[in-house]
């Protein structure tokens, strides 16, 4: 787990260093009758958020699956109950993931 925090800290530091490049002004404003163009940063933010959501959901479901299989190996007599709980928890994670993806698509 310590390695994960090191990688996350490096990614966060790189994102902080790139922030001033995105803060530059875009130039003249478009006329009122023309719609404003979507900047590449806004389009990138939705894709970045969706990627983080998918990674988080994948890690969460993988943790649930590995814990469930380990529990079934230790107590085979309650494997049915463990499997039911695992499927319900995975479905809840998938639902939250789907909702977050829709928010990223609409917001981005």
Per-domain residue ranges for the chain? Answer: 39-108
pLDDT-derived band of residue 3, with 50, 70 and 90 as boundaries? confident
- Find all residues with CB under 8 Å of 1, minimum gap 6, and list them: none
Cα distances from 93 to residues 58, 59, 60, in angstroms, run 9, 11, 8
In angstroms, the first-to-last Cα distance of the chain is 31
Rounded percentage of the chain residues whose pLDDT exceeds 90: 39
Query: How many CB atoms neighbour CB 83 within 10 A?
Result: 14
22-73: pLDDT as tens digits:
555 555 555 555 555 556 656 677 778 888 888 999 999 999 999 999 999 9
Query: What is the Cα–Cα distance from 44 to 57, expressed in whole angstroms?
Result: 20
Query: What is the Cα–Cα distance from 81 to 75, expressed in whole angstroms?
Result: 11
Q: Which CATH superfamily is domain 39-108 in?
A: F1F0 ATP synthase subunit C (1.20.20.10)
What are the contacts of 84-89 at 24+ separation with CB within 8 A? 89/64
**pTM strictly above 0.85:** no
């Amino acid at each position: 787990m310590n390695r994960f925090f090191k990688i996350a800290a490096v990614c966060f530091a790189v994102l902080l260093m790139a922030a001033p490049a995105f803060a530059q002004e875009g130039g003249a404003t478009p006329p009122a009758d023309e719609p404003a163009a979507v900047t590449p940063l806004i389009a990138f933010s939705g894709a970045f958020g969706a990627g983080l959501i998918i990674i988080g959901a994948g890690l969460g479901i993988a943790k649930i699956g590995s814990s469930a299989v380990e529990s079934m190996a230790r107590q085979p007599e309650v494997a049915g109950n463990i499997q039911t709980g695992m499927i319900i928890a995975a479905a809840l994670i998938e639902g939250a993931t789907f909702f977050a993806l829709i928010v990223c698509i609409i917001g981005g």
